[in-house]
Amino acid sequence: MTLNQKVKYSQAIALLSYLLLLVLMVISTIFSTLPPEASRGFMLAIKVVPLIIFLPGLLKGNLRAHIWLCFVVLFYFTRSVVDAFLTEGAILEAITTATTVVLFLASMMNVYWQKRTGVQL
């Protein structure tokens, strides 16, 4: 497998796991145990807006978007691991944790392979 193929595959996996993470953030907000006076829209915005910022760069395959996404995903990973322990292994938090790991690894490998090809988008 050539480096260009690896870049394309890692970019596709990163984009799919990114979209899955967005969906999981929406689902976790809808099914959360917030008090009735809390604004679900505000909570959803807090969870989703930091991820939406990277969408144009990820669609273009931008190297810097993948680099910064790796940093931001670490916050989502930390939160999902804590939630998984507090809920004693609830399936939604376990899936969110696995998705953040896949997203981080795919973005990190995309950066590595894209740097090695010498062609940076």
Residues 3 and 55: their CA atoms lie apart, in Å, by 23
For residue 119, being part of any structural domain is answered with: no
Q: What is the pLDDT along the chain (121 residues), one digit of tens a residue?
A: 888 899 999 999 999 999 999 999 999 988 877 777 778 888 889 999 999 999 999 999 899 999 999 999 999 999 999 988 998 878 999 999 999 999 999 999 999 999 988 766 5
Q: Which domain holds residue 82?
A: 3-30+40-114
Tell me if 57 is assigned to some domain. yes
Query: Is the pTM here over 0.85, yes or no?
Result: yes
SS3 91: helix
Residue 102 lies in a domain: yes
At 78 the pLDDT is 96
pLDDT at 119: 66
Q: Determine, yes or no, domain membership for 121.
A: no
b/e sequence 51-60, b meaning 16+ C-beta within 10 Å: beebeebbee
Tell me how many domains the chain contains: 1
In a domain, 51, yes or no: yes
In a domain, 73, yes or no: yes
